[in-house]
Amino acid sequence: MHDTTELLIEVGTLLLLLGLLGRISRRIGLSPIPLYLLAGLAFGHGGLLPLPASEEFFAIGAEIGVILLLVMLGLEYSAGELVGNLRAAAPAGLIDGLLNALPGAAFALLLGWGWVTAVVLAGVTWVSSSGVIAKVLADLGRLGNRETPVILSVLVIEDLAMAFYLPLVTAVLAGAGWAVGGKMLAIAVVTVVLVLVVAIRYGRVISEAISAKDPEALLLGVLGLTLLVAGVAAQLKVSAAVGAFLVGIALSGPVAHHATQLLSPLRDLFAAVFFVFFGLATDPRDIPPVLLPALGLAVVTMATKVVTGYIAARRAGIALPGRWRAGLGLMPRGEFSIVIAGLAAGTAGVAPQLAPLATAYVLITVVTGPALARLPDFAWFKRMVRRQAAPRAATVSAHE
């Protein structure tokens, strides 16, 4: 069979399957991410029916998927909002990093996987899934709740922290010394600060240079600019993902609004391709040996996320039920965890168990996280919270 014909058949079949899996996930109220990962595992190396002809296509599509995920994330925030959230949520962000990155690093070191894997696994366990959490909040009707801005602030801090973390990880994975890694981190910091300053002062000018009136020109202009900046950022060893994120932040107003609408279908397509490719590159036979460690790591770091959200909501003056909703809502990991593990997969100095561990870990958290986020809506949970709040209310009354 001709290579092109075989490629078309494989890609078409897999995309059709992904469409069906997406419909199934919506029917059962779950994120499609675990189903996409499972599809990749089924058709990748060691799977039920390997599809070798389409592997290169999905590899390129996965790179574009990461870039689109990040630029769309950047489009959600203006530079001013990002700076404001950074100031307000900085303490919660620090707590978040300490409680959720350190368990991943400690876990890798305890298993003897080395400090390089520890740095990578710290990122995998640190960052919650903005996409999954946003969908859960919408599905549960909590977008207008008082604790929701707290959740979003923590997610924004994590997203911004990735702009500094990813260049550092890139340097570590490249085998660069601490001096080179520090230099790359300094370049990333200067770049992010410079982009934020330019976006705040000249964001309107940049946006006006890209016409929002012509959808075709807008789509091509924003997509071309994003890929160009991402490529230049990767060439400078800053990270293509960070470059895409900064492009999204720099655009504002009608351009950002219309670009979000136009890029959303492309983002959904290539994001699905990205998750499938990660599954394709992971041998499912490597998952059973790391399943119990992944489960243990998931239990610990889901608990630390609950503590993170609880503390952040308490600092914001949210009542007890809202604190629990904030904590339980932050548990799922997803796109960033897979992005970080994908950067490290196959790299010298990284434990080969990392990719299957990350796959199993994300599957566990992205399935159980949204289910556990519904707990505050159950009557028995509300009774438990009321009992928890009663002694505190009595103590306050006694002091008064």
Average pLDDT, the chain: 80
For residues 189 and 306, give the distance between their C-alpha atoms in angstroms, rounded to a whole number: 30
Tokens of 131: 């996409």
Task: Average the pLDDT over 302-331 and give the result.
Answer: 92
For residues 242 and 162, give the distance between their C-alpha atoms in angstroms, rounded to a whole number: 8
- The single residue listed with the structure tokens 């904030």 is 326
Per-residue pLDDT at 118 exceeds 80: yes
Task: Average the pLDDT over 230-244 and give the result.
Answer: 73
Are 302 and 129 within 8 A, CB to CB? no
Tokens of 70: 């990040």
Tokens of 179: 């001096």
Tokens of 127: 């960052």
Per-residue pLDDT at 395 exceeds 60: no
DSSP 318: -
Diameter of the chain measured on Cα atoms = 83
Residue 138: is it exposed, middle or buried by C-beta count within 10 angstroms (0-12/13-18/19+)?
Answer: exposed
Task: Average the pLDDT over 360-364 and give the result.
Answer: 89
Task: Average the pLDDT over 55-62 and give the result.
Answer: 80
Q: Of residues 224 and 157, which shows the higher confidence score? A: 224
What phi and psi values does residue 133 have, to the nearest 5 degrees?
-65, -40
For residues 39 and 19, give the distance between their C-alpha atoms in angstroms, rounded to a whole number: 11
Buried b (16+ CB within 10 A) or exposed e, 377-398: eeeeeeeebeeeeeeeeeeeee
Query: In order of start, what are the domains of the chain with their CATH numbers?
Result: 62-386 (1.20.1530.20)
Q: pLDDT grade, residue 304 (50/70/90)?
A: very high
For residue 61, give the amino acid letter: G
Are 37 and 284 within 8 A, CB to CB? no
For residues 284 and 42, give the distance between their C-alpha atoms in angstroms, rounded to a whole number: 8
For residues 182 and 191, give the distance between their C-alpha atoms in angstroms, rounded to a whole number: 14
pLDDT at residue 396, rounded to an integer: 47
For residues 300 and 371, give the distance between their C-alpha atoms in angstroms, rounded to a whole number: 17
160-183 residue pLDDT tens: 787 778 777 777 777 655 666 677
Q: Of residues 152 and 270, which shows the higher confidence score? A: 270
Residues 6+ apart with CB under 8 A from 112: none
Most confident of 41-55, 141-155, 216-230, 292-306: 292-306
Residues 6+ apart with CB under 8 A from 343: 120, 166, 169, 170, 173
Are 79 and 252 within 8 A, CB to CB? yes
Are 239 and 185 within 8 A, CB to CB? no
Tokens of 159: 């997203």
Give 31's Cβ-side CA count (13 Å radius). 31
Task: Average the pLDDT over 103-125 and give the result.
Answer: 91
Q: How far is CA 356 from CA 252, 322, 346, 369, in A?
A: 39, 35, 12, 19
Q: How far is CA 291 from CA 346, 354, 369, in A?
A: 20, 12, 17
> Which one, of 161, 189, 163, lies nearest residue 86 by Cα?
161
